[in-house]
Structure 1
Amino acid sequence: MSQPTPAPIPTDRLHFALPPDGLSGDELRQHRKERLAAALRLFGRYGYDEGVAGHVTVRDPEFEDCFWVNPFGVPFGHITVSELILVNGDGQVVEGGYHVNQAAFVVHAQVHRARPEVVAVAHSHSTYGRALAALGEPLEPITQDACAFYEDHALLDDYTGVIVDEDEGRRIAATLGPHKAVILRNHGLLTVGDSVDAAAWWFLQMERACEIQLAAKAAGRPVRIGHGDAVATREQLGSDLVAWINYQPLHTSVLRGEPDLLS
């Protein structure tokens, strides 16, 4: 017996989320702030906040050398849109009622300045990112997901203490180069993207890839994916658009579960 022919579905009834297009300055600013607050809540769920360490920044759509960022001392899991602060490239708070973590912001400002196409930067002291950073090793192409970072991340193979000056921030930005991520030896991970969603997804995926690499090496000798296949997989999975699409279920989960973040 043949299978029934499915009835055609009108395209106006199909729903698939894509990045917004054509937003005005104020609309785009509000959109970016809402995505930033949601990403920080998600990072809180994953335990990526520790003390006052960690930042996610997003470029203001009008003032390109100003960035929205989480306020100093507020737990990731409690942050709301109204608590986000706007900080200029010199680390001065120009809007909002909180301080900014000056030491951490130095890095973000220099990355944003070096990469004008980057909209968002994510950095936090996650467990497995720090563990791999302590080994001074890059990610290896040992899983399909890790191939998204194949030849598209860098290793800053040095440690000079807590970053407090612009020169060190510029060195990190230079090491990052054109890539989507950098491993800071003895420190942790930093990822970038053309949206908050992309930067957050790359951080989540890089942290997971670090965890898997550490576990695989502890169990034995991982089998690397060959160069050609790793490059091809990166071309399929490694774009910011693919990152944005992959991130949407997580964004929906945190938004539905914690709608107060929009206040």
Structure 2
Amino acid sequence: MSPSVTRPHARPVYLADTPTGLPIPGEPRFTSHEDARRHRKQRLAAALRLFARHGFGEGVSGHISVRDPEHPAHFWVNPFGVSFHQVRVADLIRVDATGRVVSGHHPINPSAFVIHSQIHHLHPAATAAAHAHTPHARALGALGTLLDPLDQESAAFYGRQTLYDRYEGPSVSLAQGRDIAGALGDNRAILLRHHGLITVGGSLDEAVHWFLTYEHCAHVQLLARAAGTPRPLTHEQALAARDGFGDPQLGAFSFQLLFDEIVAEHPDLLDE
């Protein structure tokens, strides 16, 4: 009789061949830099409109950037002085490594340049970065507290977040931007005490999803602490939840649903 052979367990038919088992499509592929650039700019404009929907505008503060697919040292960002509620693809600007606007007709917010340029420079894998001064993240930062793994969503940041405790006024110097980018490390979120929140990702879709999720989780944590003493996930539970809810592919696809919604509501954002 032949010796027994241990066969690998087949994946159940209801699970897709993805890390999470969810039927998530792969990343789109483009045959030209122009097509890839249009894709990123459309998502950037949509992300800014989503920030407007969530009330993340705070005067002239807040910016989202995405690396240019052809010129990796350049990034696209929302222009200074254009409301999140009104920004279109046509309004976006491309900025080089010196802070010069090389595409577009609007000026750059100095804070956007010093923060985002240094993140993109020091972190080649950070295709995009999102930053705003949101209420619940600011409240959490004022407490000097990061997210606890209170639920599945917050576990996406378990071991992937850091607190930046230094404050020297508005970020307008490259040295301060470099310091923030260095403190980010390999995390996907950095909470700036007395300032706001920054998230990064391998795509704009992913970075913006992490931002929205972090802000919502900060709200949950503040509510839970106000109501009583919340019980967080154990270390093992948090790691298991992070494997699912912290999956980059899931994060990017979650943004796609919001993209479809906001474009249907505000098709003018795609105007070039």
One-letter code aligned to 1:157: D
- The alignment-based identity, stated in percent, is 45
8 A Cα contact 2:24 2:250, kept in partner: no
Residue of structure 2 equivalent to 1:245: 253
Residue of structure 2 equivalent to 1:154: 162
Residue of structure 2 equivalent to 1:223: 231
Residue of structure 2 equivalent to 1:52: 60
Task: Tell me if 1:78 matches 2:86.
Answer: yes
Q: After superposing the two structures, state which structure 1 stretch, 230-239 or 25-34, moved more.
A: 230-239
Residue of structure 1 equivalent to 2:74: 66
Residue of structure 2 equivalent to 1:25: 33
Query: What is the distance in 2 between the residues matched to 1:29 and 1:143?
Result: 36
- Number of matched pairs: 249
TM-score, normalised to structure 2, is: 0.89
How far does residue 161 in structure 1 lie from its aligned partner after superposition?
1.3
Query: What is the distance in 2 between the residues matched to 1:21 and 1:93?
Result: 28
Which structure 2 residues correspond to residues 19-168 of structure 1 after superposition, within 5 A? 19-168=27-176
How far does residue 243 in structure 1 lie from its aligned partner after superposition?
0.3
Q: After superposing the two structures, state which structure 1 stretch, 47-56 or 86-95, moved more.
A: 86-95
Query: What is the distance in 2 between the residues matched to 1:121 and 1:16?
Result: 23
Relative to its length, the structure with more helix (as a share) is 1
TM-score, normalised to structure 1, is: 0.92
Q: After superposing the two structures, state which structure 1 stretch, 174-183 or 16-25, moved more.
A: 16-25
How far does residue 95 in structure 1 lie from its aligned partner after superposition?
1.1
One-letter code aligned to 2:62: G
One-letter code aligned to 1:68: W
Query: What is the distance in 1 between the residues matched to 2:112 and 2:33?
Result: 27
Query: What is the distance in 1 between the residues matched to 2:161 and 2:247?
Result: 13
Ranges of 4+ aligned residues in structure 1 off by more than 6 Å: none
One-letter code aligned to 1:222: P
Query: What is the distance in 2 between the residues matched to 1:215 and 1:119?
Result: 33
| Structure 2, unpaired ranges of 5+ | 1-22
Task: Tell me if 1:183 matches 2:191.
Answer: yes
8 A Cα contact 1:133 1:188, kept in partner: yes
Query: What is the distance in 1 between the residues matched to 2:250 and 2:49?
Result: 22
Cα deviation code 1:42-87 (max 9, x no counterpart):
1111111111000000000111111111010100111110110111
| Structure 1, unpaired ranges of 5+ | 1-14
8 A Cα contact 1:106 1:163, kept in partner: yes
Query: What is the distance in 2 between the residues matched to 1:31 and 1:51?
Result: 27
How far does residue 232 in structure 1 lie from its aligned partner after superposition?
1.5
How far does residue 174 in structure 1 lie from its aligned partner after superposition?
1.3
How far does residue 22 in structure 1 lie from its aligned partner after superposition?
3.6
One-letter code aligned to 2:76: W
| Aligned-residue CA RMSD (Å) | 1.2
One-letter code aligned to 1:77: H
How far does residue 198 in structure 1 lie from its aligned partner after superposition?
0.7
